[in-house]
Amino acid sequence: MHVRALSLFLALATATLVRALFADEAFVVDWHIASIGSIAPSRALVSPDSVTVFSESSVLASLDTVNGTVRWRHLLDESAVSQHSHLTRLDSSAVLLVAATPADAAITHVAAWFEDSGYLIWDAYLSGGAPVGVSVAGDVYILLSGGKIQRLSRSTGSVVGEYSLPDGYSPVDIVASKDSISVITRKQDKGLGYFVLTGGSGELADDTYILIDKNPAAVSVTKAEGYNSNIIAWTVPGEFMTIKIAGMSGTSAQPLTVTPKAPYASFSLTSSTSGVVATITGIDGKSWTETYIFSRGKLTLVGATDPTESALAVSDGTLFKISKTSISSFALTTTGAKLASNTEIQLPPSSVEFAKCGSSACLVGFKNGEYVLATTTTGVAWTRDESIADVVSALFVDLEEEGESSSLGEVLFEENAAPLQAYIHRVRRHWKALAGLPQYLIGFFQRFLSGDYDAVPVDPNSTVSDTFGFRKFVVLATTRGSLRALDTAHAGAFAWKVDDVLESDAIVGIVQGDAKDELYVVGAFGTVAYVNALTGKVMTISKIADFGLGDKVESVVAFVHDGVQYIAAWTAHGQLHFLKASSPATSIYFSKVIDNVVAGYVFKEDRLIPTWQFTLPTSYKISSFAARHPGDKTVSLGRVLGDRSVLYKYLNPHILAVAAVDDTTKSAAVFLIDDVSGRLLYSSFHENEAVDTAAGVKLVVGEHWVVYSYWSDLPARGEKLVVLDMYESDIKNERWSKDQNFSSFTETPLPFVQGQAYLFPEHITSLAVSRSRFGITNRDIIATLDTAQIAVLPKRLLDARRPINRDPTNDEKEEGLVKYDALIGEDKRFIVSHVYNVLGTKKTICSPAYLESTVLVFAYGLDLFFTRITPSQPFDLLSKSFNKGQLLLTIFALMVGVRFTSPIVKRKQLNMRWGTQK
């Protein structure tokens, strides 16, 4: 009876399943880093007010020039392939993005955006191929790969004229000026020439065709607008001392040859009132500029700078020279370069990839993914690290507990040393520790008075955890081969950074070793580095000994077997190299998803033997797969029902869930496989539902359940969220694994699987499950959404035992079940990312805090987002609203009350005994 009352109370207490973030915890427990991705110089516009870029991650963004924050950004669908996307300035307040559409590269999307606000001004779709060249002169001229030139009104984007190149001419680029439009083409892939179109009145008309070079071998055309006429340059392959240049006039073109003073590797051309400036990078890596002027049909060299290792960039007749310690600007005149300013700066140590300059500021890109805006007046304005936008792998690193770092080794020493020596050591240690006593006392009283553990903030430079384990490092491995550690307690500030960890090998995965600070970084070509996870120091770096020639590491496998941790690299040739601990003596079973097949292997006696293969039904393709996190703990073997009977959970640690889609029939399927024996445990098919196969199926595996989601059109359009709960039997209290652990090798009964499906309002891009320290706390399902938000749903809400079409009985209520409702997650309070615009997250990882109630959640992809969630409420933590003053006041009031009433009571009792009441 008592238990029943208690469980009823619990059921009632948790009946409200919508649990939102407290307003006072927003921006305190969570943080968000908005990224834009890698910047290409060709798609970056630097102006005095803003830096506008269209990044490799398809983000169109405008950055503040003062502090580098994102003024606005849009994650677009348009492809960021450099040949198919162009970002140019439309006018002083707007930018124009011309890019091929993702669905069809033959269609080009043109959009004009306000640079200040990020609002769309106009957009247009053009058919006829991907954009080859864009030029703005009065109107917008776009050359498409299909040989069509479209002229768009600058103010409305409507097509005001178009022109098609004659057959046989392939488009190269377009240069427009006020009077004429030059379309650079190649004829039959041989002759280089251009069409001059007159476009003054609107309609484009074929005027003349001018051949520049009959037989140019390679056409990597560089164009320059301005000066007296537009200029193009091209190269002759094999000759590193020749650059061909021609001015494009309306009547004829005389190709001229420029001979740089040293062999070049690359060059760029700019044009200004003073002439043509060629910025040349030599084959020795040094750069210089050469300034030419046109006079009487000839190019005359008027000035050249000395070759330098600094980065050079030319903008509007100004040459910017950026070295590690200074930024200088030079005015390019007809007599040469004249120093205009020189400012001392301190740039990051990584090597410079490019410099793109505006009127007085330069955006400098570094190899490690950092970007710096340096101005000639104030020096470095800001630094942005965009390497964290392209993450290969991420993990949480636990920090040391307070005092642990200093004393653990010393205590061990004292335990093993001779008594006298140990005693002296201890006294000395305590004497040293005494120095920290005042600080400790101050902190103690601060905490005591405020009742808040955060009253004494953790030193951001330390590697010590806070009281509740909310402070951890998140280590990110980036596509640029670098590692970044973020401090979760300090809004994601960098704890340490290491560039090029694997010495120009690309990182495939990072795995944590036995110790907290052990981090293994594995590269594609078999480079393995062992890094201290707390400091970022690279301890050792080595190559896998017997790594096959031309082989490539595909993934890193980590598992614990008989208390020993093994880390192994799986290669494309099907090899398994053990990186930590020698290869295990016992047989180890595991499975791999290779292309479209799930294959099982056994590693036995230093040999890898294939055991089974799971082939999908024909025309199905694997969309995703998932297994239970090895650190996920199970507290209870069964699920207690309202009538005190038990349904035993099917707890098989070897479940591999594989989701597949069929493009032709628009169906999806999910298979649950035992990855030791390859036995199919359960499968579910979603046919005739018109599944969005491109979006695929998202999966997550918990202790005895699988949750997956997919978008489909039938019968009701929306994102379907499906839960499959696995039990040993559908009969209560029945359990066949009663006496011993069951083995994958024996023919055990198949799990009893119960399923339910729900409709979720938004598109889900990935799923994850929370993991608490001891597994007692309920689980939450964490979903990243394509609305740039992150939702958290209680697993209790996704329960296949929810009664359908009837109210739950008393027993079911006790179990915590609520009536089935197909619609789930309608309430915005499920969104934990609240007002953050968390763009492009693809994966979520979780880690438990020291407190059982709290789980740390980190999502990455493009943006980074961190928060703490408490799936069963913060039951082991006093809430922020807990009023310490009120409690003390109540105690005080009670004391006063007792003080006053006790004489009264005493007198009364005495009177009573004497029989003289009153």
Partner 1 sequence: MLRWKVIFTVLFYIAHTVSAYSLRGFLDSTIANGRPVTFSPTTEVVLRSVEAKHKSYVRADGESFVFLNVTAGSYVLSVNSIEHVFPTLRIDVAENGVEVFLTHRGNEWGFKGPRQPYPIELKPFAPAVYYQYREGFNVLKLFKNPMLLIGLLTLVMVFVLPKMMDSLDPEQLKEIQQQQAKSVPSAIANPMNFDVASYLAGKTAGPSTSGSSASQSKSAGSARSRKH
Based on the shown chain and the rule CB under 8 A, indicate whether residue 581 belongs to the binding site for partner 1: no
Kindly report the three-state secondary structure assignment for every residue of 445-491.
Answer: HHHHHHCCHHHCCCCCCCCECCCCCCCCEEEEEECCCCEEEEEHHHC
Based on the shown chain and the rule CB under 8 A, indicate whether residue 826 belongs to the binding site for partner 1: yes
| Residue whose pair of structure tokens reads 């003054």 in the numeric block | 200
Based on the shown chain and the rule CB under 8 A, indicate whether residue 621 belongs to the binding site for partner 1: no
Based on the shown chain and the rule CB under 8 A, indicate whether residue 888 belongs to the binding site for partner 1: no
Q: What are phi and psi of 519, to 5 degrees?
A: -135, 125
Interaction residues for partner 1, span 78-107 (CB under 8 A): 101, 103, 106-107
User: What CA–CA distance (Å, rounded) separates 807 from 462?
Assistant: 55
**x/- map, 842-881, partner 1, by CB under 8 A:** -------------------------------------xxx
Based on the shown chain and the rule CB under 8 A, indicate whether residue 238 belongs to the binding site for partner 1: no
Q: To which H or E segment does residue 14 belong? A: none
Nearer to partner 1, 493 or 694 (CB): 694
Of 8, 26, 293, 750, the residue at the interface with partner 1 (CB under 8 A) is: 26
Based on the shown chain and the rule CB under 8 A, indicate whether residue 70 belongs to the binding site for partner 1: no
Smallest distance, Å, CB 835 to partner 1? 6
* Contacts with 23 (C-beta within 8 Å, 6 or more apart), sequence order: none
Nearer to partner 1, 573 or 828 (CB): 828
Nearer to partner 1, 158 or 215 (CB): 158
Pairing of strands 275-282, 287-295: antiparallel
Buried b (16+ CB within 10 A) or exposed e, 327-344: bbbbebbeeebeeeeeee
- Which span sits near partner 1 by CB under 8 A: 33-41, 324-332, 384-392, 819-827? 819-827
DSSP 8-state class, residue 263: -
Based on the shown chain and the rule CB under 8 A, indicate whether residue 822 belongs to the binding site for partner 1: yes
Long-range CB contacts (within 8 A, 24+) of 806-814: 809/642, 810/642, 811/641, 811/642, 811/643, 812/642, 813/8, 813/11, 813/642, 814/4, 814/7, 814/8, 814/11, 814/642
User: What CA–CA distance (Å, rounded) separates 780 from 829?
Assistant: 14
Based on the shown chain and the rule CB under 8 A, indicate whether residue 17 belongs to the binding site for partner 1: no
Sign of the Cα pseudo-torsion (638, 640, 646, 650, in order): negative
- Which span sits near partner 1 by CB under 8 A: 269-277, 346-354, 426-434, 713-721? 713-721
Quick one: how far is CA 243 from the chain centroid?
42
Smallest distance, Å, CB 623 to partner 1? 15
Interaction residues for partner 1, span 643-672 (CB under 8 A): 666
CA atoms within 13 A on the CB side of 333: 7
Based on the shown chain and the rule CB under 8 A, indicate whether residue 119 belongs to the binding site for partner 1: yes
Smallest distance, Å, CB 575 to partner 1? 41
- Which span sits near partner 1 by CB under 8 A: 117-125, 432-440, 550-558, 802-810? 117-125
Based on the shown chain and the rule CB under 8 A, indicate whether residue 912 belongs to the binding site for partner 1: yes
- Which span sits near partner 1 by CB under 8 A: 116-124, 311-319, 426-434, 731-739? 116-124
Nearer to partner 1, 498 or 824 (CB): 824
Smallest distance, Å, CB 6 to partner 1? 19
Of 886, 899, 900, 903, the residue at the interface with partner 1 (CB under 8 A) is: 886
User: What CA–CA distance (Å, rounded) separates 531 from 529?
Assistant: 6
User: What CA–CA distance (Å, rounded) separates 859 from 841?
Assistant: 6
User: Do residues 686 and 710 lie in contact, with contact meaning Cβ atoms separated by under 8 Å?
Assistant: yes
Based on the shown chain and the rule CB under 8 A, indicate whether residue 117 belongs to the binding site for partner 1: yes
User: What CA–CA distance (Å, rounded) separates 488 from 867?
Assistant: 9
User: What CA–CA distance (Å, rounded) separates 220 from 61?
Assistant: 28
* Contacts with 290 (C-beta within 8 Å, 6 or more apart), sequence order: 258, 260, 261, 277, 278, 280, 301, 303, 304
Nearer to partner 1, 243 or 864 (CB): 864
Smallest distance, Å, CB 25 to partner 1? 9
Name the β-bridge partners of 329.
320, 341
Nearer to partner 1, 103 or 418 (CB): 103
Of 91, 309, 643, 713, the residue at the interface with partner 1 (CB under 8 A) is: 713
Tokens of residue 302, six digits: 């008027």
Based on the shown chain and the rule CB under 8 A, indicate whether residue 805 belongs to the binding site for partner 1: no
Interaction residues for partner 1, span 452-481 (CB under 8 A): none
Quick one: how far is CA 724 from the chain centroid?
29
Of 54, 72, 614, 858, the residue at the interface with partner 1 (CB under 8 A) is: 72
Smallest distance, Å, CB 856 to partner 1? 20
Closest CA to 95 of 85, 105, 82: 85
Based on the shown chain and the rule CB under 8 A, indicate whether residue 77 belongs to the binding site for partner 1: yes
Amino acid identity, position 307: P
Based on the shown chain and the rule CB under 8 A, indicate whether residue 159 belongs to the binding site for partner 1: no
* Contacts with 101 (C-beta within 8 Å, 6 or more apart), sequence order: 77, 78, 79, 107, 108, 109, 125
- Which span sits near partner 1 by CB under 8 A: 49-57, 407-415, 489-497, 787-795? 787-795
Sign of the Cα pseudo-torsion (614, 620, 623, 627, in order): negative
Nearer to partner 1, 733 or 879 (CB): 879
Nearer to partner 1, 70 or 302 (CB): 70
Closest CA to 762 of 691, 690, 695, 711: 711
68 burial (CB, 10 Å; 0-12 / 13-18 / 19+) is: middle
Of 32, 43, 74, 796, the residue at the interface with partner 1 (CB under 8 A) is: 74
Of 286, 447, 604, 829, the residue at the interface with partner 1 (CB under 8 A) is: 829
Smallest distance, Å, CB 101 to partner 1? 8
Interaction residues for partner 1, span 755-784 (CB under 8 A): 759, 761
Name the β-bridge partners of 612.
600
Nearer to partner 1, 746 or 886 (CB): 886
Quick one: how far is CA 230 from the chain centroid?
42
User: Do residues 148 and 161 lie in contact, with contact meaning Cβ atoms separated by under 8 Å?
Assistant: no
Smallest distance, Å, CB 119 to partner 1? 4
Q: To which H or E segment does residue 406 belong? A: helix 404-416
Smallest distance, Å, CB 759 to partner 1? 5
Amino acid identity, position 226: G
Smallest distance, Å, CB 670 to partner 1? 19
- Which span sits near partner 1 by CB under 8 A: 118-126, 376-384, 389-397, 738-746? 118-126
**x/- map, 294-313, partner 1, by CB under 8 A:** --------------------
Smallest distance, Å, CB 207 to partner 1? 24
User: Do residues 708 and 757 lie in contact, with contact meaning Cβ atoms separated by under 8 Å?
Assistant: no
Based on the shown chain and the rule CB under 8 A, indicate whether residue 9 belongs to the binding site for partner 1: no
- Which span sits near partner 1 by CB under 8 A: 115-123, 426-434, 471-479, 516-524? 115-123
Nearer to partner 1, 178 or 918 (CB): 918
- Angle in degrees, 0-180, between the axes of helices 404-416 and 419-434, rounded to the nearest 10: 160
# binding residues, partner 1 (CB under 8 A):
64
Based on the shown chain and the rule CB under 8 A, indicate whether residue 831 belongs to the binding site for partner 1: yes
Based on the shown chain and the rule CB under 8 A, indicate whether residue 714 belongs to the binding site for partner 1: yes
Tokens of residue 384, six digits: 């942005």
Smallest distance, Å, CB 387 to partner 1? 24
- For 502-567, give the DSSP string: TSSPPEEEEEE-SSTTEEEEEETTSEEEEEETTT--EEEEEE-TTPPTT--EEEEEEEEETTEEEE
Residues engaged in binding partner 1 (CB under 8 A)? 19-24, 26, 72-74, 76-77, 101, 103, 106-107, 114, 117-125, 127, 666, 690-692, 711-718, 759, 761, 786-789, 822-823, 826, 828-829, 831, 834-835, 837, 879-881, 883, 886, 912-913, 915, 917-918
